[in-house]
Structure 1
């Protein structure tokens, strides 16, 4: 009888630990899904996205101005990535309210 009680208590503890582990995810950032709250989505839509679009346009202008110098130095790809591609990805590809590099599609 005592062995049966210990078995059931252990099973309950293990099931609660497994439920907590499945809710928190695997810890691998590729498999975590961001679920931002509504205020984060609103702030992103009204403040962050317009600023990122402006940063993309200014970065494209700076890239064009610096293109002769970066071409001589061999850093055209790095300059384009930093000044144009990264802000554009953050403005147009990132999910609304997400804070990480979550450029993958959500299902």
Structure 2
């Protein structure tokens, strides 16, 4: 039996799935070390841009992971892990958006 190798798409997807997690950890450390009152935090516009960028990275990781899962002749462990991690990260803004729409419609 031939040993299967990891797909390059699966590896890239797995690495990309951890970038938003690393960002959240770093941002939490920055927020804890310099409270809002000190003025050392970044502006809100930059934070919104970065959060949208992290959403895009998670979405790309999710799609690449699904593509890597469907490829034959490669291991699927990293691809499945990347899809699960990215999917969990994507749930946060999706649920938040749904809650916002519901709140707006109930006014």
| TM-score category, normalised to shorter length | 0.3 to 0.5
Structure showing greater Rg: 1
Higher RCO, 1 vs 2 (CA within 8 Å, ≥6 residues apart): 2
Give the TM-score of the pair, scaled to structure 1.
0.35
How does the TM-score come out when normalised to structure 2? Answer: 0.35
User: Which structure's residues are more often helix, by fraction?
Assistant: 2
